[in-house]
Chains A and B, each alone.
Chain A
């Protein structure tokens, strides 16, 4: 196994998206793409998740919620922004209530652009996220070793 995490568990959060990306995220779990072959599981519970997958931009109402969900995840953790809205705010960027992309609220590690992002791209993004996750895990472990 080494340091390669083979079981990235996701927490999928839908910001103010048009739901297009959400459908694509769920499509990843269907037989065609079958993300579970990579060990991916959609947990729906921040306590158990490793990767926060966010679709849609951040608005003034969901900002606190996203922040809390991110806080509830245990270290190491990775954020993957799916779709152009999550990356920058997208077409909603100029709306009165939109603050912008996810990085306005929490640090984002992987940006997966697209409108909507394709499942292949999403899976690719998650794999990128896993690499970052592994780096952080290694860092955390060496830090723990130093103590």
Chain B
């Protein structure tokens, strides 16, 4: 199983090489090769693990040297944060890094004796799934980024941004390494280290352009994530000193048995996961992160990094079921799902819509994990898979569209199908995967609804029902924009999408469709065993009959428009001008006004930004969720200490 350290260390080495390589062509070549290597080694890992019967594997019991190296690296991270926060006159942020690092270091060096029950690395279905997501999507995004960053620095919109691609790519690779480390670690101290590493990577990537807004947003992301890191560190040290071990599975199993320190640690870690998954009240960092170049938005803030929060919550899910922590997490997640989907309606900036919908979907996953039953975990895992692929596809697509169109406003995508047909079709697939029946997200929403009814979780039922209505609203109106007849009257825009971007997009779209078509199989072969392993029992939330009926619907939904289109193509129908009270000037784009002059038409979607805009809703909902968290935490801490 040498492939595991390879997965973690190889990206780090590559990142170092990236940093030193200043010749673009050479660096691009290395980027291609190493992302392919990463994908291949993930494949090797999956194959090896399958060969061993898909059983959980623990590895690396004796790791004293590595522990020391990690501790040193942790200090290095602390120094970087401290330096940067002093440099940009936000010294207080450094405290959030210094305190937990010192705490962890003190515990590791002078704390009580720790017992090692398991290895430091743990491989099971969930970590394999995360590895596939990180490796596959991450690798594809790196390939995409090579083309995108070239276009980014050659476009007139970003002429004032210094070309530091070596730095950008080096960060992308560090991030990949950290993610692999995070999802494969069993030891909580390691998890903490990789956690901090992803936080700091995202901080540096958001601040890539060094513009004042970017710096402001990057620090917001930093302190929020570090705050989560603090909670994590406190949880680890508290649990470690009380029970004398720092294994993740030990934590979960003792918490299930009702150990008070373990439950308290679980709730602290859950809070940390909320910050990483950008749930309310910590959502603003993810919105601010959209100033970064698109590949980093896609990689960090949608497809993978925020999934780290979900990953850890899923790990804790058995321990959270029917506890106060679980209630708190489910409440916050459900509330976030509903409120941010409202805010997404009011956005017209494509990336902002994606950001809000990311938070919203993460909210649903968080809520599922918080309820913590086999059914909801099943739903959350499917949500995670669909979300990772379709969001990564959409982010990359919006980025490519922006490079060609010069705008990423949804309103400017009016008639995109006629201007940039390929990108529009990919966008369509991505959005369809996000909400349309019978695609994946819908199934997961369905399962979540069913499970929360079974759990008699009334509030969650409310959130899911209303949230699913609002979710379809903003997606459908975006889809409608794409297929509307163009304002530009059929004029094509030059598609500046590079070949490598196209490759990544195509693979994503194929994966998306494959996932939709294969998911009953996937549920049987992969997700059910996963849930089974976690809870010791599993049952299909949706019966096989339903799953197969859904496959029929998928076929119908694809086939009907296609057949209707094919059969209608040869039928002659007379084309008429669209109705404009008889004053259409002849091209459906303008009309004669009351002065006898031509007036061009401009159609826009509903946004209601004055009623449900994020400016109006964000602050109150932050306060509310913060209050919920504080009150619930007081109860949990009180319960644990008494």
A and B touch in their complex, CB below 8 angstroms: yes
Most chain B C-beta atoms within 10 Å of own C-beta, residue among A13, A45, A64: A64
Contacting pair A72 B574 (CB below 8 A): no
21 A-B pairs within 8 Å (CB atoms) are namely A46-B579, A46-B582, A47-B576, A47-B579, A61-B596, A64-B582, A64-B592, A65-B581, A65-B583, A68-B577, A68-B582, A68-B583, A68-B584, A71-B576, A71-B577, A72-B576, A72-B577, A72-B579, A72-B582, A74-B574, A74-B576
Q: Tally B residues with Cβ within 8 Å of A.
A: 10
Contacts beyond the supplied A47-B579, A72-B577, A72-B582: 11 A-B pairs with Cβ under 8 Å: A13-B582, A46-B579, A64-B592, A65-B581, A66-B582, A68-B577, A68-B582, A71-B576, A72-B576, A74-B574, A75-B574
Q: Which residue of B lies closest to A46 (CB)?
A: B579
10 tightest Cβ-Cβ pairs between the two chains A and B: A65-B582, A69-B582, A68-B582, A72-B576, A65-B583, A72-B577, A47-B579, A45-B579, A68-B584, A46-B579
A68 to B583, CA, bound (A): 7
Tell me how far the C-beta of A73 lies from the nearest C-beta in chain B, rounded to whole angstroms. Answer: 8
Q: How far is the CB of A109 from chain B (nearest CB, A)?
A: 20
CB contacts (< 8 Å) of B579 on chain A: these are 45-47, 72
CA distance A3 to B581 in the complex (A): 31
One digit per residue, 1 when the CB lies within 8 angstroms of any chain A CB and 0 when it does not, for chain B 576-610 equals 11010111100000001000100000000000000
A33, B191: Cα distance in complex, Å: 83
Residues of A within 8 A of B576 (CB): 47, 71-72, 74
B: residues with CB less than 8 A from A are 574, 576-577, 579, 581-584, 592, 596
Of the candidates A47, A68, A74, the one having the most CB atoms from chain B within 10 angstroms of its own CB is A68
* A interface residue numbers (CB < 8 A to B): 13, 45-47, 61, 64-66, 68-69, 71-72, 74-75
Q: Which residues of A contact B584 (CB under 8 A)?
A: 68
Main secondary structure of the interface of B (DSSP, over half): loop
Q: Tell me the complex Cα distance, A64–B582, Å.
A: 8
* A13 partner residues in chain B, CB cutoff 8 A: 582
CA distance A68 to B582 in the complex (A): 5
Cα(A46)–Cα(B579), bound, Å:
8
Q: A74 vs B574: C-alpha distance in the bound complex, in angstroms? A: 8
Q: What CA separation (Å) do A92 and B577 show in the bound complex?
A: 31
Tell me which residues across on chain A come within 8 A of B577, comparing CB atoms: 68, 71-72
A47 to B575 Cα, complex, angstroms: 11
Find chain B residues with CB under 8 A from A69 CB.
582
- A143 CB to closest chain B CB (Å) equals 13
Identify the interface centre among B574, B579, B583, B592: most chain A CB within 10 Å of its CB: B579
Tell me the bound Cα distance from A64 to B583 in angstroms.
8
Query: Which residues from chain B contact A46 at a C-beta distance below 8 Å?
Result: 579, 582
C-alpha gap A24/B334 in the complex (Å) = 59
Output the nearest chain B residue to A75 by Cβ-Cβ distance. B574
Residues of B within 8 A of A61 (CB): 596
Q: Closest CB-CB distance, A62 to chain B, in whole Å?
A: 8
Question: Which residue in chain B gives the minimum CB-CB distance to A62?
Answer: B582
- Across the interface, which residues of B come within 8 angstroms of A65, CB to CB? 581-583
Looking at the assembled complex, report how far the CB atom of B283 sits from the nearest CB atom of chain A, in whole angstroms.
Answer: 45
Q: In the complex, A71→B574 CA distance in Å?
A: 11
Neighbouring A residues of B574 by C-beta, 8 Å: 74-75
Measured CA separation A68–B584 after assembly (Å): 8
Chain B residues whose CB sits within 8 angstroms of the CB of A47 once the complex forms: 576, 579
Q: Which residues from A are CB-within-8-Å of B582?
A: 13, 46, 64-66, 68-69, 72
CB distance from A56 to the nearest CB of B (A): 14
Contacts of B581 in A (CB 8 A): 65
- For residue B576, which residue of chain A has the nearest CB? A72
Q: For A45, what are the chain B residues with a Cβ–Cβ distance below 8 Å?
A: 579
Give the CA-CA distance A65 to B584 in the complex, in Å: 8
Complexed CA–CA distance, A51 and B123 (Å): 74
- How far apart are the CA atoms of A122 and B574 in the complex, in Å? 31
Q: How far is the CB of B353 from chain A (nearest CB, A)?
A: 33
Chain B, residue nearest A67 (CB)? B582
Rounded to whole angstroms, the CA-CA distance of A141 and B338 in the bound complex is 55
Give A120 Cβ to nearest chain B Cβ, in Å: 29
CB distance from A49 to the nearest CB of B (A): 11
Complex contacts, A74 vs chain B, CB 8 Å: 574, 576
A142 to B582, CA, bound (A): 31
Q: How far is the CB of B501 from chain A (nearest CB, A)?
A: 42
B596: which A residues are within 8 A, CB to CB?
61
- B390 CB to closest chain A CB (Å) equals 37
Give the complex CA separation of A69 and B578 in angstroms. 10
Closest residue on chain A to residue B594 by CB atoms: A61
A71 to B583, CA, bound (A): 12
Distance in angstroms between the alpha carbons of A81 and B413 in the assembled complex: 45
A71 vs B586: C-alpha distance in the bound complex, in angstroms?
12
A46 to B581, CA, bound (A): 9
Assembled-state Cα–Cα distance A66/B581 (Å): 10
Closest to A70 in B: B582
Report the Cα distance A71→B576, complex, angstroms: 8
- Give chain B residues whose Cβ lies under 8 Å from the Cβ of A64: 582-583, 592
Q: How far is the CA of A16 from the CA of B400 in the complex (A)?
A: 54
Nearest-CB distance from B329 to chain A (Å)?
53
Chain B residues with CB below 8 A from A68, complex form: 577, 582-584
Question: Within the complex, what minimum Cβ distance (angstroms) separates B302 from chain A?
Answer: 43
For the complex formed, measure the closest distance between the CB of A47 and the CB atoms of chain B, giving whole angstroms. 6
A1 to B574, CA, bound (A): 26
The complex places the Cα of A64 from the Cα of B598 at a distance, in Å, of 14
Task: Give Cα distance in the complex from A13 to B576, angstroms.
Answer: 19
In the bound complex, residues from chain B placing their C-beta under 8 Å from that of A75 are: 574
* Beta-carbon nearest neighbor of B586 in chain A: A68
Task: Report Cα–Cα, A46/B583, bound state, in Å.
Answer: 13
Docked CA distance A68–B576 (Å): 10
Report Cα–Cα, A110/B286, bound state, in Å: 68
Closest to B573 in A: A74
Return chain B residues, CB-CB under 8 Å to A71.
Answer: 576-577
Whole-angstrom distance between the Cβ of A144 and the nearest chain B Cβ: 10
